[in-house]
Amino acid sequence: MFSTAPAPVRAQDESELATRTQNPVADLISAPLQNDVLLNIQAVIPFKLTNECNLITRTTTLLDTQFWGASAILQDPTATDDASGKWGALPTVLALTVQGPGAVGALANNVGSFAGNGTRKDVNQILIQPLVNYDLPSDWCTNPLPITIADWKADADGRWTAPAGATLGHPVPAASASRSVVQPAPGEPGEVEDYDPWEEFNAKTFEFNRRMDKYALKPVAMGWKTVVPKPAGIMIANAFDNLNVVPRVVNNLLQGKWNGAGREVSRFLINSTAGVAGLFDPAKDVWHITQSPADFGQTLGKWGIAPGPYLVLPFMEPLTVRDGIGKVMDRAIDPLTYVVPLIPGLSLMAGNRVNERALNYELFAAFDDDVIDAYTAVRNGYLRRRERRVNE
């Protein structure tokens, strides 16, 4: 593998340049070229948002999909015209595998300077870049960008840099482009077959979740139901629902549902005051202002993004890939995520889960008694409900 990066055209002094070239989110434009038996072009273009925040864009062109290897990189000096910079060398390992609609791999290298201008700072740092990509239907794709860098020359407190991010994109169509995820053909006219390529894994996880519900959550919910009267449980559910207003308002706005956003704001103001911090729901009971449920998974559906494969994860409700991304985004835009500490937040989520299970105790019991193929029934019910929510 060979790599080179054009020299930045501006820097106030050599010290500042040395610092900025080691910063993966610095306000510097570069275009590294890598050749791993194939051509890999990574154009890095920053956009300065504020004095403390840069938006870094990385555009990668890779002319292959499955390979591995190990080699070395010779890095030429990156400096201004009045300084020659430093030469660097680094071992590199790269592995990538493609399985169905997903690609998983990693790139890691460690660069150390060995020659060049003695006035420039020495470089010794490692870069680890997980390569994770998932192709959604309709040619959409998503991948995280967790590029981690450790500067061994820095102090312990500032040695590691691990920014987090993710992308959701749609490629420009090309004549030779092919989709790695294709929605299945309809089983019958007017019907769409449930897209469940991971059914074997999902079914096993579903059974695990059912056993956890039967032997852990259900007994706790029964005890909660015995101790906490149903009206008190409804008040607790109302309070949790009132606290989660921000994601609903934001997603109503993103979907262009202005009346829905207005109803959610009105409900929050009324229930937070007349409803005693949301314990009661006078907005519905007195003023007949109903909810306008909205989440980011639904928003993505409104924007034309297909749901992707059905997915069941341990200790979680059913999902699609699109709805899983939506849940992460809903957490990111919820102010409570940044206000409530992690452990108390998890405790509140667990308490809300037990309270909901207790309020729906009889419904779950009837389902267990009446349904033969629980996995198929839950999958079909979830996918049809989400489809209705998107199309409403």
Query: Which has more confidence, 346 or 150?
Result: 346
Residue 30 and residue 51: Cα distance in Å, rounded? Answer: 20
Most distant CA pair in the chain, distance: 80
Q: Give the chain's mean pLDDT.
A: 74
pLDDT confidence tier of residue 156, bands split at 50, 70 and 90: low
Q: What is the pLDDT of residue 314?
A: 94
The per-residue pLDDT for 366 is 84
Confidence of residue 238 (pLDDT cuts 50, 70, 90): very high
Nearby residues of 178 by Cβ (< 8 Å), 6 or more positions away = none
* CA angle in degrees (0–180, nearest 5) for 158-159-161: 85
As given in the structure block, the two tokens for residue 302 are: 């409104």
Range picked from 38-42, 133-137, 359-363 for highest mean pLDDT:
359-363
Model confidence at 241: pLDDT above 80: yes
Evaluate if residue 162 carries a pLDDT over 80.
no
Q: Kindly report which listed range (142-146, 184-188, 244-248, 292-296) carries the lowest average pLDDT score.
A: 184-188
pTM of the shown model:
0.55
User: Each residue of 27-38: pLDDT tens digit?
Assistant: 555 555 554 444
Average pLDDT (125-144) is 63
* DSSP code for 111: E
Reported residue count of the chain is 392
Domain layout of the chain by residue ranges: 3-169, 199-391
- What tokens were used for 309? 């494969």
Of the listed ranges 5-19, 118-132, 139-153, the one predicted with least confidence: 5-19
Phi first, then psi: what are they for 284, rounded to 5°? Answer: -90, -45
Any idea which of 137-151, 271-285, 317-331, 344-358 has the lowest mean pLDDT? 137-151
Helices (H), 180-307: 199-212, 218-227, 230-243, 245-254, 258-273, 282-285, 296-302
**What residue ranges in the chain does DSSP mark as E strands?**
3-4, 33-35, 39-50, 53-62, 67-75, 86-99, 102-116, 124-135, 141-144, 148-151, 160-161, 166-169, 310-311, 319-320
Question: In the predicted model, is pLDDT for residue 228 greater than 80?
Answer: yes
Q: pLDDT tens for residues 78-117?
A: 554 444 456 665 566 666 666 556 666 666 666 666 566 6
